[in-house]
Amino acid sequence: MISERFKNTILKQLELDDFDIQDETKANTVPGWDSLNHVNVIVAIEKEYGVKFKGIEVLKCKNIGDLQKLVDSKINQ
């Protein structure tokens, strides 16, 4: 489940007022989250939670829900 903190980090990075983000939402359907901006969103999430992802971990994520789960798993480590 997408947390408010996680969602707000994404919205702030993409300079969006609001956007409905669900577990199944694909990154490329969020306005501004294109291939060039992708890495900026990842870095913003890493900074927000003080975590560091491995490249392969992010590349395996199929949707935003997977990214949230990845953050959760890193925090709980």
Binding site for other proteins (CB under 8 A): 34-36, 38-40, 42-43, 55-56, 58-60, 62
Least gap, CB of 46 to other proteins (angstroms):
8
User: Which residue, 4 or 59, is less far from other proteins as judged by CB?
Assistant: 59
Least gap, CB of 4 to other proteins (angstroms):
25
DSSP secondary structure string for all residues of 39-64: HHHHHHHHHHHT----HHHHHT--SH
Least gap, CB of 43 to other proteins (angstroms):
6
User: Which residue, 2 or 63, is less far from other proteins as judged by CB?
Assistant: 63
Enumerate helices (H) and strands (E) in the chain, giving the number of each: 4, 0
Q: Are 7 and 46 in contact (CB under 8 A)?
A: no
User: Which residue, 4 or 61, is less far from other proteins as judged by CB?
Assistant: 61
